[in-house]
Structure 1
Amino acid sequence: MSIDARALTNGLTAAEVAERVAAGQTNDVPARASRTVGQIVRANVLTRINAIYGVLFAIIMSTGYFLDGMFGLLIIFNSGIGMIQELRAKRTLEKLAIVGQAKPTVRRDGVSVELAPNEVVLDDVIELGPGDKVVVDGVVLTADALEIDESLLTGESDPVVKHPGDQVLSGSFVVAGGGAYRATKVGRDAYAAKLAEEASKFTLVKSELRSGIDKILKFITFLLIPAGALTIYNQLFNVNESLADALRGMVAALVPMVPEGLILMTSIAFAVGVIRLGQRQCLVQELPAIEGLARVDVVCADKTGTLTENGMRLSEVISSNGDASISHALAALVRTEARPNASLLAIGEAYPAAPGWQSTAVAPFSSARKWSGASFAEHGNWVLGAPDVLLPPESAERTEAERIGSQGLRVLLLGRTDIAVDSPDAPGVVTPAALVVLEQKVRPDAKSTLDYFASQNVTVKVISGDNALSVGAVAGSLDLPNSAHPVDARNLPSSPDELATAVEETGVFGRVTPAQKRAMVGALQSRGHTVAMTGDGVNDVLALKDADIGVAMGSGSPATRAVAQIVLLDNKFATLPYVVGEGRRVIGNIERVSNLFLTKTVYSVLLALMVGIAQVNYPFLPRHVTVIAWFTIGIPAFVLSLAPNNERARTGFVARVMRMAIPAGAIIATATFVSYMLVRTTATNEQAGTTALITLMIVALWVLAIVARPYKWWKIALIALMTGASFLLFVLPFTQRFFALDPTNTAHTTLALTTAAIGVLLVEIVWWIQRRFTNLIPEQDPEPTTAQ
């Protein structure tokens, strides 16, 4: 389909757009979001946990013991709460995604308008400027020193210069210059559409935490079959129970083996984390980022837009010869840039009058070369950029610029060149004309943010493209550690190992190129660090993409927002502590409550085996198992999963949790089995079951008390409430009848209390041994901070 000169200038008409929409020639790639409502419902209902519980619930219903089917409510809770929380998270994500969405500028009916990506149609004329993302495939119509970075598609980091007639691909972005292109492939036909659609899929399961839980769950599933077979065989042939009673005993043995609540708590914790971050204007584009945030120990941040505000003000122009053409040159240079950066905008405010100079060649600003310029026929060739890039070391102007820059000011050199700015050898020999001094305002919340990270043992590295002395002055004013000796990145070693050492030992770097930012992130990762990278400019994209967690500012370029896992839509660096704190809260609390659920799994498996080998009745009814889960695990775990927690996550989740769960579970199973066997020959079935239940609940409540350490008032209240509820369970006549309990035999109850006390002592010894020799449990929780 051809496009004429009129369309090049004016774009498509409303009628032409309607024609293409009717023909389905729209950019209908699904927006990046979470799962659909149908997928959420299916994923929360059709689970391994629900399948197991559904089968066991059907078995109990077939026996007629309907009260023992209370555990079936867990199917509803597992599905309902998971769906509600995820639907809320989905709604929050989609609202925020609309706010943070990159909108291309499209020419229609002679007017340039910003549209959502899915509103672009075939043959639309789309304008491009620095930082713009190419949203659909197309052909370049006009190019003004247009440079496209296609590294996200091809892996090649060098920008590609584009001319009219060249192809541009969706997924690439503009690093310099500007122009316009015509959309030739939209929707699923575009080059990056399949990649984008794949990237938009729900990725919660791809994490060490989730994979660890899945491994545990699969292992337990395999245990259920032999454990169930042994239990029912024992009940039928050794104890001579009826089929209904044998099935009830089997279900009672199998139900507690499944850590059903752990899956629920994990889903809730992730979903609540997304919602809480959404309320702080943080767009979580990939849910595993919640886990990654908990592991961050190094934050690499830019100076501009992070420690300082984006806006700038022209402080002064220092000229040694009083050249009258300086003001005209500055005003003209500003107007050659289609999309001026913060420095040029500040200059433009000070020099609003256009001198009427006509440019014959333009070199847009590039973060790689650190300068921009234009040639103006009879007015000569002018450049504006970094003095330490444009001038030799012995230059007096460069020395003066470094002196001013050491005060935290940004200094640019305005100079004349001897060749046109679009020459391959540009800028050539630069003759200084003036130093342009700009002021940046330090963000009022920058110091408190850096102090927070220092208190949490998170190292902050300032990596900037600005002059090293200027960056060091700003960082020093904020008392950033290791900022006294800023390093010029041009002097950094090229050896990966030497670079890693330099980056670890230094806190501030200036004159860092985009490739160096990427290399520095990789160097830190090679030393075992988990790195979060913040940025807002095109020059940050590659580093953001390689970092463990990429954090983009909402006002940053579309390219940075596209590759980042977290987008700070409020543009506040001070929001990042809340983000890191939320990640730590989620992961730390899930590991904490995992100890409860897996301890239950261990003692349930061992108790079933002990009972089967001993060829005796299983001591508990399914209703007993349900109430144990409520008071010793379910309710406490829900509260603990939402509590403040700032401990940085560590690898080895499964091994670390099982080191606590296995000995604790073994002690509970043994104590319960011993108390049961000691009374079963002299007691009724209800009395024997009650004795075993008292023993189990006391030791399990002590495990809860250990997991809740260190104590705070609300944790003590939680433990007291669960203990009180458990006590009432055994003394209230209604609950005695409902749960088939008989604690009236004083000797049996005393035996249960004595056995439980021994179990409590053994569990406490295990905890102290672990704390002393393996440091598995932290001595203290970090105090809650503003980041929680």
Structure 2
Amino acid sequence: MEDAYARSVTEVLDFFGVDPKKGLNDSQVAQHARLYGKNGMFSLLLARVRIRFPIRSMLLFSQIKIMHFMPVMNTIYIPYAGASFWKLVLKQFDDLLVKILIVAALVSFILALINGDTGLTAFLEPSVILMILAANAAVGVITETNAEKALEELRAYQADIATVLRNGCFSILPATELVPGDVVEVAVGGKIPADMRMIEMLSNQLRVDQAILTGESCSVEKELESTTATNAVYQDKTSILFSGTVVVAGRARAVVVGVGTHTAMGGIHDSMLRTEDEATPLKKKLDEFGTFLAKVIAGICVLVWIVNIGHFHDPAHGGFLRGLIYWFLLIFPDLMFTNHSFVPTKIAVALAVAAIPEGLPAVVTTCLALGTKRMARLNAIVRSLPSVETLGCTTVICSDKTGTLTTNMMSVSKVCVLHTVQHAPVISEYSVSGTTYAPEGIIFDSTGHQLELPAQTPCLLHIAMCSALCNESILQYNPDKGNYEKIGESTEVALRVLAEKIGLPGFDSMPSSLNMLSKHERASYCNHYWEDHFKKISVADFTRDRKMMSVLCSRNQLQIMFSKGAPESIISRCTSILCNDDGSAIPLTTSIRAELESRFCSFAGRETLRCLALAFKRMPMGLQSLTHNDENDLTFIGLVGMLDPPREEVRNAMLSCMTAGIRVIVVTGDNKSTAESLCRKIGAFDHLEDLAGYSYTATEFEELPALQKTLALQRMALFTRVEPSHKRMLVEALRHQNEVVAMTGDGVNDAPALKKADIGIAMGSGTAVAKSASDMVLADDNFATIVAAVAEGRAIYNNTKQFIRYMISSNIGEVVCIFVAAVLGIPDTLAPVQLLWVNLVTDGLPATAIGFNKQDSDVMKVKPRKVNEAVVSGWLFFRYLVIGAYVGVATVAGFIWWFVYSDSGPQLPYSELMNFDSCSTRETTYPCSIFDDRHPSTVSMTVLVVVEMFNALNNLSENQSLVVIPPWSNLWLVGSIILTMILHVLILYVHPLSILFSVTPLSWADWTVVLYLSFPVIIIDEVLKFFSRSSTGMRWFNFRWRRPDLLPKGESRDK
């Protein structure tokens, strides 16, 4: 029943056919269970898309097992179940590049079997490839099995039991047994088990903490009257008790109107379940690059086939047709199975291994993990590695107000009392410092001077007594969390904290005495003092008509009533006012009353403070109970103004976001005027700025025409009176405009938007649901930490871009090496296992060290990068093609040098080297086994390793010379190069390793040639960097790889 809030009690009861005095009978329960369903947390049948990280992106459709169908409100609901373990494993291999590697491993395995090789290296190549893929699958499965944790955490907010009226009797039943129409009794401390409509009040009032649903710190007073407002939000539905919220005061009965997913909490559950996890901007670029690589591999294989058409007539193949098939990578049974018969197949395997940067996933993951470690020192705990680089291109931060920009702790900031100046009464203000529940703060007078002993002023002393005694909350210290917590109303706890800040009269109030107490004792030391010295006799609870609460206390031969409540109610019942000069009471004149009302209006209006008035009255001895008639002829003590204060560091953080080109939208369920006042305080708006077009309520925004909504989204800075669905809608709308959205929050109500955002940021003190749905958690609940995290994210992306470029240029060099060798018709320069070693180890270590390049000083002074920014732009791609071409040519040159020029080589004519495959069919002066010698491939591999070490130094900066940024600016890179060379020397000179990698020790002459061939890569890149710095003519190279076919439908590249 979705409109129960707008219907009267009688209409709701008649709709379900329930007697409020007897409840449902057994037959009605069975009928309603069939018609509406029971109170379980179910989820809609849907197909979910997930993107894995870190190796390749894969579309994973979660499997939904149909256990049973349950009709609920004419809709079929199905319990959600995730994919089985083995299906998750198989899905990790559903990727084009992964499939290419699997085929490469399979072909390599078959070749080893056909050749009959049983040595150590026979199955090394396929084994290494398969181990890489297995590691990838393990990471993917671990990520997937953790994906549903947020949904499990959400179920913890469902009540376990409920007090239900059935067949005329109350009984305790599991909350899951509730059906619509059940009459349920709720009381203070209890959790609401389902969405329910109030039908009877059993106490003076009923207040419910709805913070987990709305995010607002103040509890909501519930009432029996229906709500007539159209487009009512949760805060407006005062007759509805929402599932998962907690009763903080009072007792009442209500009828169940919504169960399962037809509750507010169930709606959040389904919204989270519907949310698709999407790839980060960097990951999308890597996916595009992966597809591009697959096409490059296919293109090069075709090109190798074309350029070798002249070899089809080679007698070794038995004719043109067999030569064509041979070079088309097909092997017939009647072919001679020699090593060289598989050259084309080996070329294909080598190309697959060379073109795919197997080490890139591990390097990306490692560098992101190192970045998360640095961010953890800033109190930003990263739960999802890809989200690290997403921070670097964030353009909009949708920040929850309560608990994120504010402390979510009501705090008294102003106190008004009466003074006399030259015998004339004057209302003066005290300012109170402190923005948390910590019982520490300073009280300043109207001139800004600190009060050393506030309790020695009569009015403040009476305020402390009233705050401590007319109070039903608890302030305590939580040693596990290391902070002070409340039990009860946040406004009452704020008064307890104020009593602690005022202190006690005499020696006990000295700060040195209080500081000697433990935090547990200090939490309510002053409050306990007053509670020990006064005995509570009677309490007149708060009611809506009186708008006040009173407590009768006695001490020795004195009985006194303390009252607190709405200023207009308290002031109207007062006839005198306490003077702060000497503690005497003087008549409350019309002029003083008007001044108090003016001050109250100023607090509530301009400063948006929540105001309470405090008063007292001496009562006759022997009185045992209070009546409403006793609450007259009161003596006014003072006016206190409190608020959920903004965090002290938020203003500077907002300024930093503006400087960095990041727009902040404050999102809150609070009313518009209160939120606008806060935004002015934190610097989101100027104090005199016209907020038209910048500030909207959810209702105002929904009523805008489509075009105006689009324009509003481009300027919006404040979004008020919102519900969870509005937050999710806002994130979706911003993302549709190609904004990269970060959403912050701490409550259950924020979870759907946190999951939908490009990066969800939860508060450390937030709910488990919010944390599980987020990508990052702020351990210190500090909005300013986001700014530091964004700076770190930008630096990580810049470094990530550098090492990706480094690895791409290295892989280009390997592909060029294999391609040139195939075109020239010379033997394989490098074996696949050698390429794997280079890609994983010798490339991986320097690439990881590049991730430690220092952060640029202006990283937060530039606008966020565009989501469609290519990892490698046109000019840079040209640069790395040049570098890669030289790497490939140098590697092949080292191979040819050994055969043609080396003193330790055969010194063959170059023509003999080009016709090596026909060696067995003609007479030669050298044995054909010379072409299987490990020496030339060792020279090639060493050239490739050393030239890539020099190339790593080139990547210290994109455009700056090594003279400006020398190698020692990144000692991690220097260390990684040294370690890489040590490892390479080990595989050359340690016997078992040299056999595994088919290499042999090199002589000093060989090493000299290696250095001659490798060093020029430094000179070439320095020349290219010079052109990058000085030539504007290179700008025309900076095109982007646009791939419209890979974009989601409706998404645009340009912003």
Sort the TM-score into its range (normalised by shorter chain): 0.5 to 0.7
Are 1:492 and 2:702 counterparts?
Answer: no
The code of the aligned residue for 1:26 comes to G
Give, in whole Å, the separation in 2 of the partners of 1:89 and 1:126: 41
Distance 1:163 1:49, change over 3 A: farther
- Return the offset for 1:220: 1.9
Give, in whole Å, the separation in 1 of the partners of 2:233 and 2:313: 72
Partner of 1:359: 544
Whether contact under 8 Å (1:107, 1:125) holds in the other structure is: no
Distance 1:754 1:495, change over 3 A: same
User: What secondary structure does 1:318 align onto?
Assistant: strand
Are 1:618 and 2:828 counterparts?
Answer: yes
- Return the offset for 1:619: 1.3
User: What secondary structure does 2:241 align onto?
Assistant: strand
- Return the offset for 1:120: 7.9
The code of the aligned residue for 2:357 comes to P
User: What secondary structure does 2:982 align onto?
Assistant: helix
The code of the aligned residue for 1:724 comes to I
Where do 5+ consecutive residues of structure 1 fail to align?
112-116, 153-160, 364-371, 381-394, 416-431, 476-481, 777-788
- Return the offset for 1:706: 2.8
The code of the aligned residue for 1:44 comes to Q
Give, in whole Å, the separation in 2 of the partners of 1:246 and 1:118: 69
- Return the offset for 1:256: 0.9
Distance 1:293 1:678, change over 3 A: same
- Return the offset for 1:631: 3.4
Distance 1:106 1:39, change over 3 A: same
Give, in whole Å, the separation in 2 of the partners of 1:379 and 1:452: 45
Are 1:663 and 2:882 counterparts?
Answer: yes
Partner of 1:51: 99
Give, in whole Å, the separation in 1 of the partners of 2:999 and 2:149: 52
Whether contact under 8 Å (1:8, 1:125) holds in the other structure is: yes
The code of the aligned residue for 1:666 comes to A
Whether contact under 8 Å (1:599, 1:665) holds in the other structure is: yes
- Return the offset for 1:307: 5.9
Q: Number of paired residues?
A: 700
Partner of 1:600: 810
The code of the aligned residue for 2:345 comes to L
Distance 1:280 1:359, change over 3 A: same
Partner of 2:409: 311
Give, in whole Å, the separation in 2 of the partners of 1:217 and 1:126: 59
- Return the offset for 1:257: 1.0
User: What secondary structure does 1:311 align onto?
Assistant: coil
Give, in whole Å, the separation in 2 of the partners of 1:118 and 1:645: 54
Partner of 2:241: 180
Could you list the per-position Cα deviations for residues 409-439 of structure 1 after superposition, in whole angstroms to 9, with x for gaps in the alignment?
8744569xxxxxxxxxxxxxxxx99753337
- Return the offset for 1:259: 2.2
The code of the aligned residue for 1:673 comes to V
Whether contact under 8 Å (1:142, 1:179) holds in the other structure is: no
Give, in whole Å, the separation in 2 of the partners of 1:207 and 1:760: 34
Give, in whole Å, the separation in 2 of the partners of 1:399 and 1:544: 42
Distance 1:455 1:180, change over 3 A: closer
Are 1:206 and 2:279 counterparts?
Answer: yes
Whether contact under 8 Å (1:620, 1:689) holds in the other structure is: yes
The code of the aligned residue for 1:359 comes to R
TM-score, normalising length: structure 2: 0.51
Whether contact under 8 Å (2:400, 2:745) holds in the other structure is: yes
Could you list the per-position Cα deviations for residues 579-602 of structure 1 after superposition, in whole angstroms to 9, with x for gaps in the alignment?
546644664454333223322332
The code of the aligned residue for 2:288 comes to K
- Return the offset for 1:211: 1.8
Select which of 292, 295, 300 maps to 2:390.
292
- Return the offset for 1:61: 2.2
Could you list the per-position Cα deviations for residues 420-462 of structure 1 after superposition, in whole angstroms to 9, with x for gaps in the alignment?
xxxxxxxxxxxx9975333777868x48984996899587969
Whether contact under 8 Å (2:747, 2:770) holds in the other structure is: yes
Whether contact under 8 Å (1:596, 1:703) holds in the other structure is: yes
Give, in whole Å, the separation in 2 of the partners of 1:133 and 1:617: 76
Distance 1:295 1:701, change over 3 A: same
- Return the offset for 1:261: 2.8
The code of the aligned residue for 2:544 comes to S
The code of the aligned residue for 2:950 comes to W
Give, in whole Å, the separation in 2 of the partners of 1:561 and 1:61: 46
Select which of 415, 419, 438 maps to 2:642.
438
Select which of 285, 297, 300 maps to 1:224.
297
- Return the offset for 1:60: 1.9
Partner of 1:697: 945
Of the structure 1 ranges 752-761 and 236-245, higher mean CA displacement relative to structure 2 is found in 236-245
Could you list the per-position Cα deviations for residues 266-295 of structure 1 after superposition, in whole angstroms to 9, with x for gaps in the alignment?
466668888998999978788764443232
Select which of 754, 758, 780 maps to 2:1012.
754
Give, in whole Å, the separation in 2 of the partners of 1:616 and 1:529: 52
- Return the offset for 1:742: 5.1
Are 1:5 and 2:59 counterparts?
Answer: no
Alignment of 1:456-495 (within 5 A): 457=660, 486-487=686-687, 491-494=690-693
Give, in whole Å, the separation in 2 of the partners of 1:562 and 1:731: 51
Percent identity for Structure 1 against Structure 2: 18
Q: Which has the higher helix share?
A: 1
Partner of 2:865: 650
Whether contact under 8 Å (2:41, 2:155) holds in the other structure is: no
Select which of 553, 560, 563 maps to 2:763.
553
Give, in whole Å, the separation in 1 of the partners of 2:652 and 2:127: 45
Could you list the per-position Cα deviations for residues 16-68 of structure 1 after superposition, in whole angstroms to 9, with x for gaps in the alignment?
9xx99xx9862244999997644542233444333222222222222225616
Whether contact under 8 Å (1:550, 1:564) holds in the other structure is: yes
- Return the offset for 1:312: 3.6
Q: CA RMSD in A?
A: 6.7
Distance 1:57 1:545, change over 3 A: closer
The code of the aligned residue for 2:942 comes to I
Give, in whole Å, the separation in 2 of the partners of 1:546 and 1:122: 32
Where do 5+ consecutive residues of structure 2 fail to align?
1-15, 45-78, 166-173, 214-221, 243-254, 317-338, 419-424, 428-458, 473-486, 500-535, 549-564, 574-593, 614-635, 696-706, 901-906, 909-929, 958-964, 1036-1055
The code of the aligned residue for 1:663 comes to V
Give, in whole Å, the separation in 2 of the partners of 1:398 and 1:270: 58
- Return the offset for 1:717: 0.9
Select which of 699, 706, 714 maps to 2:972.
714
Distance 1:731 1:305, change over 3 A: same
Could you list the per-position Cα deviations for residues 608-649 of structure 1 after superposition, in whole angstroms to 9, with x for gaps in the alignment?
332333233231122321222233323444565699868677
Distance 1:103 1:4, change over 3 A: farther
Whether contact under 8 Å (1:596, 1:637) holds in the other structure is: yes
Partner of 1:155: none
Alignment of 1:262-341 (within 5 A): 262-266=360-364, 289-296=387-394, 305-306=403-404, 309-314=407-412, 317-318=415-416
